[in-house]
Structure 1
Amino acid sequence: MSVELTVWREAEPIPRERARIAYRTILAGTPGEPADPGLLALAKAFPEHATTYPDAVLVAMEPEEMDEISNRVFAEARSAGLVCYDPQRDLVHNLAPRGVYPELQLHTGDGMIVVDPDLGLVHDVLGTLSAGNPFTALVVFGSHFLQVSPGYELEYKEGLLRRTEVADLDAVRQAFDEYARGERGFLERFTWS
């Protein structure tokens, strides 16, 4: 069974609900050559995996290839100014808004790595914490990171490693949003050990 990503152009960030509808509409259409140069370049970067549609590219891969290929697709889509929808994870990769660190990386326990993720993606990924996705981390390698695991144990490292338990997902999402924006209010709100 293969997995897939769908890539297309949007004028502004879109929510997952709209991405789902666009994905179904694309699949119901007829394959064809896209006019958009960014879509053409992405299709050429993945010739053995890409199916082109007039307004989109579908990139299919085997599950064992997913981590490697999807990370490359995310990067290619971002550089071409394209939106990427991952129907397996029900996540949309928008172009904005993003955090203050261009080198920021989003890592998940199910193998997703996204460089300079949009804040909506970070918000949605945090809702996928489970046995199948045992952590989510935002990392600026060599500087600092913020990580959470199911049960909402937060770990923050900038020099010293600090840990705390957080009561709910909304508090975790707020902490991750602040961290990505370069703010550190979450350090004051929680009791760390």
Structure 2
Amino acid sequence: MVADLVVWHETVRVGHEEAAEKAAGFMAKRAAGGAAADSVPAFMEELTRNFPGVGVKGDRKSFVLVTLGDAPVAKVVPVVRYLAAKHRLACFDVRLRAVVNPPLLRRIDAPELTSAGDLPIEDPSADHIERAVRELDGDFWFVILDFDDDHYVQGGLGERAGAAPGAYMLEVRDGDEHLQTEVADADAVISAFREHAAGETAWRERFSWRPVAVG
């Protein structure tokens, strides 16, 4: 069975690729669920009560396969992720190939990737970053990779970001230092984001920066 989201009881933090393998096993019925947990049927009951049209399968004791069908993705997916976190369950988004770990299993220092068109991805992979940058357009024009409000890198496409048409505005904030530069191509933005996610700072030397104007 193909599912849009896979939710299960997890006792250790899992990465995106490991979560993808587990989710594929659940969907193909190649893998049994883990230990049963009361939180799984509680999650399922609350989800179906809020969205009765959503498809729910799986063993319903240790994992649940959620199929959205005609349900509005932008409305339902955030609720699925919220309810999974509320019930301390892992939630894998099949389209994004991204997992949201239960709150107690998350990395405190993990960066988070947020774009105008999608939900946040904790500790994003190199592929997540590349897709987010390459999918920027006139409507979904910005992407941010942040460790906290004062430490992040941001990329925006075109005039809405203050750049020339087809170019990117790249910004970095490190405490009180807030700088920006215009970048011609997506590859340079992707490299900057990937290196920033890895905790590197040398990438900043490749650009000529100016302070971000305030006000």
> Percent identity over the alignment?
20
Cα deviation code 1:4-49 (max 9, x no counterpart): 11011223222333222211221233999x9412222221221122
Is 1:11–2:17 an aligned residue pair?
no
Instruction: Give the match's secondary structure for 2:13.
Output: coil
Q: Cα gap change, 1:12/1:35 in structure 2, threshold over 3 Å: closer, same or farther?
A: closer
TM-score by length of 1: 0.66
Q: Does 1:51 align with 2:57?
A: yes
* Residue number in structure 2 paired with 1:181: none
Partner of 1:36: 37
Counterpart mapping for 1:166-177 below 5 A: 167=188, 169-176=190-197
Higher RCO (C-alpha 8 Å, min separation 6): 1
- Counterparts of 2:194 and 2:112 in 1: how far apart (Å)? 16
Larger radius of gyration: 2
- Structure 1 unaligned segments of length 5 or more: list them: 179-183
Q: Give yes or no for the alignment of 1:79 onto 2:79.
A: no
Q: State the partner residue of 1:97.
A: 107
Q: Tell me whether 49-58 or 164-173 shows the greater mean CA deviation.
A: 164-173
Deviation per residue, 1:64-98 (Å, 9 max, x gap): 61122111222222233222111112222234213
Q: What is the count of residue pairs matched by the alignment? A: 179
Map 1:1-193 to 2 at 5 A: 4-29=4-29, 35-47=36-48, 48=52, 49=54, 50-53=56-59, 54-62=61-69, 65-94=72-101, 95-99=105-109, 106-112=113-119, 114=120, 118-119=122-123, 121=124, 125-129=128-132, 130-131=134-135, 135-138=142-145, 146-149=153-156, 153-156=169-172, 162-164=179-181, 165=183, 167=188, 169-176=190-197, 178=199, 189=205, 191-193=208-210
The whole-number CA distance in structure 2 between the counterparts of 1:118 and 1:107 is 9
- 1:109 and 1:3 mapped to 2: Cα distance? 24
Quote how far apart the aligned CAs of 1:188 are.
6.3
- The 8 Å contact of residues 112 and 145 in structure 2, kept in 1 or not, is answered as yes
Q: CA deviation at 1:173?
A: 2.4
Aligned 8 A contact 2:145 2:193 in 1: no
Is there any run of 5+ residues in structure 2 with no aligned partner, and where? 158-166, 211-215
Per the TM alignment, residue 147 of structure 1 is displaced from its structure 2 partner at its CA by 2.0
TM-score (norm 2): 0.61
On the 8 A contact 1:43/1:52 being kept in 2, the answer is no
State which drifts further: 145-154 or 14-23: 145-154
> 2:5 touches 2:93 (CA, 8 Å); kept in 1?
yes
